[in-house]
Amino acid sequence: MVAVRCLHIIYYFCLGLVLQQSSSPELQLSIISSSIGILRIAIIIIIIIIIIIIIIIITVGLGLVAVVEVIVIVVVVGVVVVVVIVVVVVVVVVVVVVVVVVVVVVILQ
CA dihedral 2, 86, 95, 42 (to 10 degrees): -50
pLDDT at position 1: 59
pLDDT at position 109: 65
Residue 53 three-state SS: helix
What is the domain count for the chain?
A: 1
Q: What average pLDDT score do residues 4-16 get?
A: 70
- Residue range of the domain that includes 21: 2-108
- Per-residue pLDDT tens for 21-61? 666 677 667 777 777 777 777 777 778 877 877 777 777 77
- The 8 Å CB, 24+ separation contacts for 98-101 are 98/34, 98/35, 99/14, 99/15, 99/17, 99/18, 99/35
- Per-residue pLDDT tens for 68-98? 676 777 777 777 777 777 777 777 777 777 7
Q: Are 87 and 45 in contact (CB under 8 A)?
A: yes
Residue 105 has pLDDT above 70, yes or no: yes
